Amino acid sequence: MNQTTSIYNRRMKMADLVASDMSLLSILHRLDIALGFGEATVAEVCAQHNISADLFLMICNIYSFRDYSPQIETLTDDDIRSITTYLRASHRFYSTICFPTLHNNIHKMVKELDDVSRRLIDKFYDDYDNEVTSHFQYEEEVVFPYIEDLLSKGQNGNSEYRISLFEHNHGNVNEKLNDLSNIIIKYLNKDYASQLRFEILGEIHYISNDLMKHSNIENKLLVPLVEKIEKRYE
C-alpha cells in the first residue's frame, strides 16, 4: 500500500470499518469508543469522542496494512498528545489483560513438564517479562514526559535528550516471545498439555502481532511528529 492509498475513510460507517478487520476492536477499546454506534460514520463517531478522524484512520490503517505509510502533515500537536494517550492505554491493556492471561496459562502448562523444560520455559518468560516491563517503564518515565514538556514549554528539563535516542534504542520486544513460541512448538514432549499449548501459542501470536503494530505507531507517527516539534524549537 502506498502513501496515498487507504481503504478506510472518514465517510464510511464505523460498523463497516470494524467488520472489515475485527482486530480494530482493540483500538476502539483503547480509545474508550463504546460499541453501539449504529449507522454513524467514522467522522461522526470520532467527533462524538473528541478524537481526530485523521489520526484514528492512520492508526487503523497501520493495524490493517503492513506497508501503509501515513501522511502526517495533517496532524497537529494535539494529535501527538492523543498518540501518547493511546500508547499508555495500550501499555495498560498489555499489562493488565494480555500478559497476566499468558502468564497464568504458562504457569498451568509448566506444572505438567519435566524439570528441565520447566526451568527453560520459566527463564524465557521471566526474561521476556523483565524486558517488556523495562521497555514500557522507559516510555512512561522518560519518553512521554519529554514529549509533554516539549509540547507545553518548547523544551525539556533534560536538554540532552532527543526522540532520536528513543528511536535508535527501540528494541524488538517480540524477539523472546518468538523464541518461546519456537520452544513450545519444537521441543516440548508431545504428550504434555497439548490443548493448553495451542491456546498459549495463539495468545503469543496475538500479543506479538499487536506489539508489532504498537511499535509501528511509535515509529511511523510518534517519532516523526516529535522530530518536527524539536526542529521547530532548534
Q: How much is the average pLDDT of 171-186?
A: 82
Distance CA 120, CA 118 (A): 5
Q: Cell 521476556 identifies what position? A: 128
The runs of H, that is alpha helices, within the chain are: 14-20, 25-30, 42-48, 53-64, 77-93, 99-110, 115-138, 144-153, 163-168, 175-186, 194-217, 223-233
Q: How much is the average pLDDT of 35-61?
A: 96
Q: How much is the average pLDDT of 109-123?
A: 85
Here the cell at position 74 is 495533517
Least confident of 2-16, 84-98, 101-115: 2-16
Tell me the whole-structure pTM to 2 decimals: 0.88
Q: How much is the average pLDDT of 33-57?
A: 95
Q: Where are the chain's structural domains? A: 14-72, 76-233
pLDDT at position 109, please? Answer: 87
Strand partners, 13: 41
